[in-house]
Amino acid sequence: MNSSFNKLLTFKILIIVLIISIFSANFLFIQRVDALSDSRQLVLDAWTLVNEGFYDPEKFDEIQWKRIRQKTLQKQIETSEEAYSAIEDMLRPLDDPYTRILRPKDYELLKSSNFGSEINGVGLQLGEDDDKVVVISTLGGSPAEEAGIVSGDYIEKVDGISSEVLGLANTASKLRGEAGTKVLVQISSTSGEIREVDLERRSVDLRPVRTKRLRDDSHTIGYLRITQFSESVPKKVEEALQELKEKEVEGLILDLRNNSGGLVSSGIAVADTLLSAKPVVETKNRNGIKDAIISQKETSFDGPMVTLVNKGTASASEILAGSLQDNERSILMGEKTYGKGLIQSLKSLGEDSGIAITVASYLTPKGNNIQGQGMTPDKLLDLPDASEYGSADDKWVRNAELFLESLLEKEKDSVQTIELSSEEIKS
C-alpha cells in the first residue's frame, strides 16, 4: 500500500517537474520571441506604412510586394540595425530613392532641418540621377559651397566608399556628423573631371529667408531670397514682405536659386501670400488627381515680380515657381529647374527612427508634370553664378532688376497716357 502510494506520489512529482520545465522553457522562448519581435515589428510596420501610402500601388503587383514582405521576415532580424538593412533591401525594388528608411541620426537631422535654423554637416542637398548621387544644390556659406561644389556635380565616393554601394540615403547620412569632424568626398563634374575634397563638418546657418532693398535713381525694388522651405518660412516671408512694403518697394525679385525644397506645405503657403484666389498646385495620389489647392484672395504683395530659378531649384520651390508662372503672376528667369515632382510623407517608425514615403506627385495649375522634366524659364540666362547671391556682382539679380524697371516704366507711361486722354476729354 505504502509502496504503491509512494510510486504514485513520485509519478505526480515527476509530472509536476516536467510541466514546470516545459513552462519554463516556453517562458524563456516567449521572452526570446518578444526580444526579437521589436526588430521584426519595425520591418512589418515599415511594410504596412508603405503599403498604405505609396503613390503608385501598381508597382506592388509588378514587384510582388506581399512576397517581398514574406521573404524579408524570414531573414535573421535580431537587432535594430539588421531591421534597417532589411527594410532597405525590401524598399529597393520600388525603384524610388525618396522612399527610404531613416535611421535615428538621419531622422533627427531631417526633422531639425525642417523645423530648425541650423544643421551639422557639409551643406549639400542631394538627389539621384540614373542611379548616381547628384548634387541638387549647396547651402550658402557651407563647407561644400566654399569647396566649389556646384549643382550637377556627382558624388562618387564618401570616405572611400562608392556612392553606388551606399545609395542616396546612406551617402547623405555619411556626409552628416558632429561639427569639427572631417569627411573625404570624391566629386566628378559634368565635364568628367574628378577631384577629392576634404570637408570639415560644421553647423550651417540655414537662414531660410533673406531680404533687402535695391534702389536706383527712379525705382525701389525688393529682393527676397528663400533658401529652403522649413516650417517657419511662411511667417518669415510675410514679415519680410511687410517690411519691404513699408520701404515702398515697387517690384519684387524672388530668388529661389539652389532652393532644393523642404516642406511642401510651406511652399504652398508662400504661394498663397503672393496669389489672389488662384490655383496653386494639383496633386496626384494613388486615388487619382485631387482638386487644385486655391489661394486666398488677400495677398501680402501684389506688385510686379521676377522669380529667379536654376538647376538647383527643386521640389517645393518648383511648386511655388510653377504656380507663379502658370498664373502669369511672375515671369521666371534663369535656368531650367531640377525636376523633382514627388511629395514625401515623413512617418515615425519605432521610438527614434522614421521612414519617408512618396505619397503623391504634383502638377502645376496648367497640368504640367514637373517630375523628371523641370520647368523652363520665360527668360533664359546664360551667365555665371555670383559668389554670393544677391550681392552687387550678382548679374542674375541685375538682369531681373532691369526687367522690373522696364515694366515699371511702361506702367508709368501707361498711367500718364490715361491722364492725358482724360484731360483731352475734359477739354
Letter for the amino acid at 267?
A: G
Give the per-residue pLDDT at 111: 72
**Can you tell me the distance from the alpha carbon of 223 to that of 271, in angstroms, rounded to the nearest whole number?**
16
**Mean pLDDT across the stretch 216-225?**
90
Q: Which residues in 124-154 are b (16+ Cβ under 10 Å) and which e?
A: bbbbbeeeebbbbbbbbebbbbebebbbbbb
- Beta-carbon count within 10 A of 66 CB: 12
- pLDDT, tens only, 335-369: 999 899 998 888 999 778 999 999 999 899 999 99
In whole angstroms, how large is the CA radius of gyration of the chain? Answer: 29
Q: What mean pLDDT value characterizes the chain?
A: 84
**Can you tell me the distance from the alpha carbon of 321 to that of 338, in angstroms, rounded to the nearest whole number?**
12
**Mean pLDDT across the stretch 277-298?**
89
Give the per-residue pLDDT at 141: 77
Share of the chain above pLDDT 70, in %: 85
Question: Does the reported pTM lie above 0.85?
Answer: no
**Can you tell me the distance from the alpha carbon of 49 to that of 94, in angstroms, rounded to the nearest whole number?**
14
Angle of CA points 208, 212, 214, to nearest 5°? 145
Letter for the amino acid at 61?
A: D
Q: Quick check: helix, strand or coil at residue 315?
A: coil
- Confidence class of residue 26 from pLDDT cuts 50, 70 and 90? very low
Q: Quick check: helix, strand or coil at residue 362?
A: strand
SS (H, E, C) 228-265: CECCCHHHHHHHHHHHHHHCCCCEEEEECCCCCCECHH
27, pLDDT greater than 50: no
Ordered domains of the chain (ranges, CATH):
2-94 (3.30.750), 120-204 (2.30.42.10), 209-410 (3.90.226.10)
- Beta-carbon count within 10 A of 375 CB: 22
Residues serving a catalytic function are: 315, 326, 340
7, pLDDT greater than 70: no
Letter for the amino acid at 125?
A: Q
423, pLDDT greater than 70: no
* Nine cell digits for residue 290: 485631387
Give the per-residue pLDDT at 25: 42
SS (H, E, C) 96-136: CCCCEEECHHHHHHHHHHHHCCEEEECCEEEEEECCEEEEE
Give the per-residue pLDDT at 272: 95
- Select from 97, 229, 95, 230 the least CA-distant residue to 170: 97
- Confidence class of residue 120 from pLDDT cuts 50, 70 and 90? low
